[in-house]
Amino acid sequence: MTADKPAYILVDTKITDPVAYEDYKAAAKPIAEQYGGVYLTRGGKMDIMQTELWDPTRIVLVRFPSMAAAHAFLDSPEYAPVKSIRLANSEATLLVLEGL
């Protein structure tokens, strides 16, 4: 039996209501941590070196122990009402990546 590979949730977010989005940030982090999520970056400084396919806005990167754990967080009943805050107050691209 092999160990699960880590997984990463990568989100690029354009926040449309910064005040309301603060509620999302405060609520999402502890839920992600319940599923083994560790925030690696959360909207920090970026040096964008190339933008032919994508012009990032605000990057969040969260490591999870596995793809299953990342999806469990995203699909969890705890996260559902928090996700609605994100959807109402931002535009985003979100993906789940398998790590090495």
Residues above pLDDT 70, as percent of the chain:
97
Domains of the chain listed by start with CATH number: 7-44+67-98 (3.30.70.100)
Q: Which two tokens stand for residue 90?
A: 């931002």
Task: Give the global pTM.
Answer: 0.93
> pLDDT tens, 64-75?
999 999 999 999
Backbone angles phi, psi at 4, to 5 degrees: -60, 145
The single-letter code of the amino acid at 49 is M
> pLDDT tens, 80-94?
999 999 999 999 999
Q: Give the model's pLDDT for residue 38.
A: 98
pLDDT at 1 > cutoff 60: no
* Residue 61 neighbours by CB under 8 Å, 6+ apart: 8, 9, 10, 11, 39, 40, 41
> pLDDT tens, 32-78?
999 999 999 999 999 999 999 999 999 999 999 999 999 999 999 99
